[in-house]
Structure 1
Amino acid sequence: MNVPLDATALASAQEEPFVHPALFYRGSDEYLAGCLSFVREGLAAGEPVAVAVPGPNLALLRAELGGDAERVRMLDMTRAGRNPGRIIPGVLRAFADAHPDGHVRIIGEPIWAGRSEVEYPACAQHEALINLAFTGRDVTILCPYDVGALSPEVLADAEVTHPVVVDGDGRWRDSPAYDPDRVINGYNRPLPPPPDHAAQITGDVNTLGAARRWARAHADAAGLDEQRIVDVELVVTELLANSIRHGGGAATLRAWTDGGALVCEVTDRGHLSDPLAGRRPAPSGQAGGRGLLLVHHLSDLVRVHTTPDATTIRVYLHP
Structure 2
Amino acid sequence: MITFDHPALFYRDVEQYLSGTTDFVRSAVAAGDAVLVAVPGGNLTLLRDALSDLGRQVTFADMAVAGRNPGRIIPGVLLSFVAAHPGRRVSIIGEPVWPGRSVVEYPACVAHEALINKAFIGRNAVVLCPYDAKRLRRERLDDALRTHPFMIVDEVRRESRWYADPLVTAALCAGPLPPAPASAPVAAYAGPTDLSRVRRFVTGCAEAGGLCPERAADLVLAVNELAVNTIQHTGGGGAVTVWSSDEYVYAQVDDRGDLADPLAGQIPPHPDREDGRGLILVNDLCDLVRVHTRREGTTIRLHMAR
Residues 174 and 290, structure 2, Cα contact 8 Å, conserved in 1: no
- Match of 2:69, as an amino acid? N
Kept after mapping to 2: 8 A contact 1:62/1:69: no
Structure 2 match to 1:285 = 272
SS of 1:207's partner is: helix
Q: Which residue of the other structure, out of 212, 216, 235, is the alignment partner of 2:199?
A: 212
3-state secondary structure, aligned to 2:163:
coil
Deviation (angstroms), 1:248? 3.9
Find 1:311's aligned residue among 294, 298, 301: 298
Q: Deviations over 1:52-101 (max 9, x none)?
A: 00010000011111221432110000000000000001000000111121
Q: What corresponds to 2:94 in structure 1?
A: 108
Aligned-partner residue type, residue 277 of structure 2: R
- Which residue identity does 2:225 align to in structure 1? E
- The answer for the alignment partner of 2:142 in structure 1 is 156
- Percent identity among equivalent residues? 48
Q: Give me the TM-score of the superposition, normalised by structure 2.
A: 0.96
The structural deviation recorded for 1:102 is 2.7
CA RMSD in angstroms comes to 1.3
- 1:200-231 deviation per Cα after TM superposition (whole angstroms, max 9, x unaligned): 12112131110011111112112222221210
Counterpart position of 1:298: 285
Aligned counterparts of 1:260 and 1:158: Cα–Cα separation in 2: 27
Amino acid at match of 2:266: R
The number of residue pairs the alignment matches comes to 304
Q: C-alpha separation between the residues in 1 aligned to 2:136 and 2:203?
A: 38
1:259 aligns with 2:258: no
Query: 2:128 maps to what in 1?
Result: 142
1:173 aligns to 2:158 (yes or no)? yes
Tell me which of 96, 118, 130 is aligned to 2:82. 96
- The residue correspondences of 1:1-319 to structure 2 (distance < 5 A) are 17-167=3-153, 169-179=154-164, 180-205=166-191, 206-319=193-306
Q: Distance in 1 between matches of 2:66 and 2:147?
A: 21
Counterparts of 2:233 and 2:109 in 1: how far apart (Å)?
26
Does the Cα contact within 8 Å between 2:206 and 2:242 map onto a contact in 1? no
Q: Tell me, what secondary structure is at the counterpart of 1:35? A: helix
Hey, what's the Cα distance between the residues in 2 that align with 1:253 and 1:225? 20
What is the letter of the counterpart of residue 295 of structure 1? V
> Larger deviation: 209-218 or 284-293?
284-293
**What secondary structure is seen at the aligned counterpart in 2 of 1:306?**
strand
CA–CA separation in structure 2 for the residues paired with 1:195 and 1:250:
21
SS at match of 2:242: strand
Give the letter for the 2:58 counterpart: V
CA contact 2:268–2:276 (8 Å) conserved in 1: no
**CA deviation vs aligned residue, 1:235-286 (integer Å, no higher than 9, x gap):** 1101111111223421121000122421000111111111111112232121
CA distance, structure 2, for counterparts of residue 258 and residue 280 of structure 1: 31
Gaps of 5+ in 1: 1-11
Which whole-Å deviations, capped at 9, do the CAs of 1:176-218 have from their partners, x for residues lacking one? 1111233112112100011222111211213111001111111
Rounded Cα–Cα distance in structure 2 between residues aligned with 1:183 and 1:216 = 36
